[in-house]
Chains A and B, each alone.
Chain A
Amino acid sequence: MAERLIEVKGLKVQFATEDGIVRAVDGVDFELSRGQVLGIVGESGSGKSVTAMTLLGLTRDRNTRFEGEVLYKGRNVLGMNEGELQEVRGNEMSMIFQDPMTSLNPVYSVGAQICEAIQIHERADKSTARRRAVDLLKQVGIPNADSRVDNYPHEFSGGMRQRAMIAMALACNPDVLIADEPTTALDVTIQAQIIELIDRLKDEFNSAVILITHDLGVVAEIADEIIVMYAGRVVERAQTRDLFYDPQMPYTWGLLGSIPRLDRPKQERLHSIKGTPPSLIRSPTGCKFRPRCPHAFDKCMEEPPLENRVETPGHLDRCWLSVAEKRQLRERTLSGEEAA
Chain B
Amino acid sequence: MATESTTDFTLDTAAALAAAEDEGAIEGKSPWYLAWRRLRRNYVALAFLFVFVAIVVLCLCAPLYAHHVAHTGPNTGHLGETFTRDGQQVPIVSKGGFQNGQFHAGGIPVGPQLWHAGGKYVLGADNQGRDVAVRLLYGGLNSLAIGIGSAVICTFFAMVFALLAGYYGGKTDWIISRFFDLIWAFPVLLLAIALGTALSINGFHHFGINIKSGSLWIPTLVISYVLIPYIGRPLRGQILSLREKEFIEAANSQGASSLRVMFSELLPNIASSILVFFTLIIANNILTEAGLSFLGAGVQPPSPSWGTMIADGQDRIATAPWLAIIPGIMIVLTVLSLNVFGDGLRDALDPRAKVRMEH
Would you call B24 and A279 a contact (CB within 8 A)?
yes
For the complex, give the distance between the alpha carbons of A220 and B17 in Å. Answer: 26
List, in ascending order, chain B residues with CB within 8 A of A22's CB: 22
User: Does chain A have a CB within 8 A of B27?
Assistant: yes
Whether A188 lies near B11 (C-beta < 8 A) is no
Residue of B nearest to A24 (CB): B22
Pick the residue among B3, B10, B24 that contacts A271 (CB under 8 A): B10
Q: Give the one of A17, A260, A271 with max B CB within 10 A.
A: A260
Q: Is A103 close to B, CB under 8 A?
A: no
Q: Is A305 an interface residue (CB 8 A)?
A: no
Residues from chain B with a CB closer than 8 A to the CB of A127 are: none
Known contacts A188-B6, A189-B3, A282-B25; A276/B18 CB under 8 A: yes
In the assembled complex, the Cα of A22 lies from the Cα of B19 at a distance in Å of 14
Name the contact of A192 in the complex, choosing from B3, B5, B8, B24 (C-beta under 8 A): B3
B3 & A43 in contact (Cβ 8 Å cutoff):
no
* Chain B residues within 8 Å of A45, by CB: 15, 18-19, 22
Q: Which of A55-63, A110-118, A211-219 contacts B (4 or more CB under 8 A)?
A: A211-219
**Within the complex, what minimum Cβ distance (angstroms) separates B5 from chain A?**
6
Chain A residues whose CB sits within 8 angstroms of the CB of B22 once the complex forms: 17, 22, 45, 279-281
- Contact string, A181-219, partner B, CB cutoff 8 A, digits 1/0? 000000011011000000000000000000000110110
Chain A contact residues, majority secondary structure? loop
CA distance A269 to B22 in the complex (A): 28
What residues of chain A lie closer than 8 Å to B10, measured between beta carbons?
258, 270-273
A277 with B18: CB separation less than 8 A: yes
Q: CB within 8 Å of B: which of A17-40?
A: 17-19, 22
- Secondary structure at chain B's binding surface: helix, strand, loop or mixed? helix
Out of A260, A272, A273, A278, name the residue touching B2 (CB < 8 Å).
A260
Say if the beta carbon of B41 comes within 8 Å of chain A.
yes
| Cβ–Cβ < 8 Å partners of A279 in chain B | 22-25
In this complex, which of A22, A43, A44, A270 has the most chain B Cβ atoms within 10 angstroms of its Cβ? A44
Given contacts A44-B15, A271-B10, contact A260 B24 (CB under 8 A): no
Query: Closest approach, in angstroms, between the C-beta of A113 and any C-beta of chain B?
Result: 25
Contact across chains for B14 and A273 when beta carbons are under 8 A apart: yes
Closest to A221 in B: B1
User: A220 near B19 (CB under 8 angstroms)?
Assistant: no
Question: B1-40 toward A: CB 8 Å interface, digit per residue (1/0)?
Answer: 1111110111111111111001111010000000000000
A221 to B6, alpha carbons, bound, how many Å? 17
Known contacts A214-B11, A273-B14, A19 near B23 by CB under 8 Å:
yes
Report whether A281 and B24 are in contact in the complex, using a CB–CB cutoff of 8 Å.
yes
Evaluate whether A272 and B1 lie within 8 angstroms (CB atoms) in the complex, with A279-B24, A281-B24 already known: no
List, in ascending order, chain B residues with CB within 8 A of A189's CB.
3
Q: What separation, in Å, do the CA atoms of A130 and B313 have in the docked complex?
A: 67
Of chain B, the residue at the smallest CB distance from A195 is B1
Q: By the criterion CB–CB under 8 Å, are A276 and B14 in contact? A: yes
Q: CB distance A281 to B9 under 8 Å? A: no
Find B8's partner among A215, A269, A280, A281 (CB 8 Å cutoff).
Answer: A269
In angstroms, Cα B16 to Cα A205, docked, is 35
Q: Are A217 and B11 in contact (CB under 8 A)?
A: no
Asked if A278 and B24 make an inter-chain contact with CB atoms under 8 angstroms apart, the answer reads yes
How far is the CB of B238 from the nearest CB of chain A, in Å? 20
In the complex, A255 has a CB within 8 A of chain B: yes
- A247-276 interface mask toward B, CB cutoff 8 Å, 1 = contact, 0 = none? 000000001001110000000011111011
Specify which chain A residues have a CB less than 8 angstroms from the CB of B6 in the assembled complex. 188, 215
Whether B23 pairs with A215 at a CB distance below 8 angstroms is: no
Identify which of B3, B11, B25 contacts A272 (C-beta below 8 A).
B11
* Interfacial chain B residues near A188, Cβ < 8 Å: 2-4, 6
Chain B, 310-350, contact with A by CB distance < 8 Å: what is the 0/1 string?
00000000000000000000000000000000000000000
A19 to B41, CA, bound (A): 11
Q: For residue A19, which residue of chain B has the nearest CB?
A: B23
Interface string of A266-309 (1 = CB under 8 A from B): 00011111011111111000000000000000000000000000
Separation of A105 and B8 alpha carbons in the complex (Å) = 31
Q: Which residues of B contact A44 (CB under 8 A)?
A: 14-16, 18-19
Of the candidates A214, A218, A220, A260, the one whose C-beta lies within 8 Å of that of B5 is A260
Query: Which residue in chain A gives the minimum CB-CB distance to B8?
Result: A270
Whole-angstrom CA separation of A259 from B11 in the bound complex: 10
Interface centre among B2, B10, B13, B15 (most CB of A within 10 A): B2
Say whether B18 contacts A43, CB under 8 Å: yes
B8 touches A43 (CB 8 A): no
> A258-B11, A260-B5, A281-B23 are contacts. A276–B41 as well, Cβ < 8 Å?
no
Interface string of A214-258 (1 = CB under 8 A from B): 110110110000000000000000000000000000000001001
- B4, B13, B15, B17: most-surrounded residue (chain A CB, <10 A): B15
Residues of A with C-beta under 8 A to B41:
18
Contacting residues, chain A, for B13 (C-beta < 8 A): 272
Q: Name the residue among A221, A270, A271 with the largest chain B CB count within 10 angstroms.
A: A270
The minimal Cβ–Cβ distance linking B175 to chain A, given in whole angstroms, is 31
Query: Which residues on B sit within 8 Å (CB–CB) of A17?
Result: 22
- Please indicate the chain A residues that have their CB under 8 angstroms from the CB of B24 in the complex: 276, 278-279, 281-282
Bound CA span A103–B44, Å = 36
CA distance A45 to B14 in the complex (A): 10
Interface string of B110-138 (1 = CB under 8 A from A): 00000000000000000000000000000
The distance from the CB of A152 to the nearest CB of chain B, in whole angstroms, is 22
Q: Which B residues are in CB contact (< 8 Å) with A280?
A: 22
> In angstroms, how far is the closest chain B Cβ from the Cβ of A252?
12
Contacts of A272 in B (CB 8 A): 10-11, 13-14
Q: List 8 tightest A-B contacts by C-beta distance, closest first.
A: A279-B24, A217-B2, A272-B10, A44-B15, A45-B18, A277-B18, A276-B17, A44-B18
24 contacts between A and B (CB under 8 A): A17-B22, A19-B23, A19-B25, A43-B15, A44-B18, A44-B19, A188-B3, A191-B3, A192-B1, A192-B3, A214-B11, A214-B12, A215-B6, A255-B11, A258-B10, A260-B2, A260-B5, A272-B13, A276-B18, A277-B14, A277-B18, A278-B24, A279-B25, A281-B24
Apart from A258-B9, A259-B2, what 6 extra A-B contacts exist at CB < 8 Å? Answer: A44-B14, A44-B18, A188-B3, A191-B2, A192-B3, A276-B17
**Interface of B with A (CB < 8 Å)?**
1-6, 8-19, 22-25, 27, 41
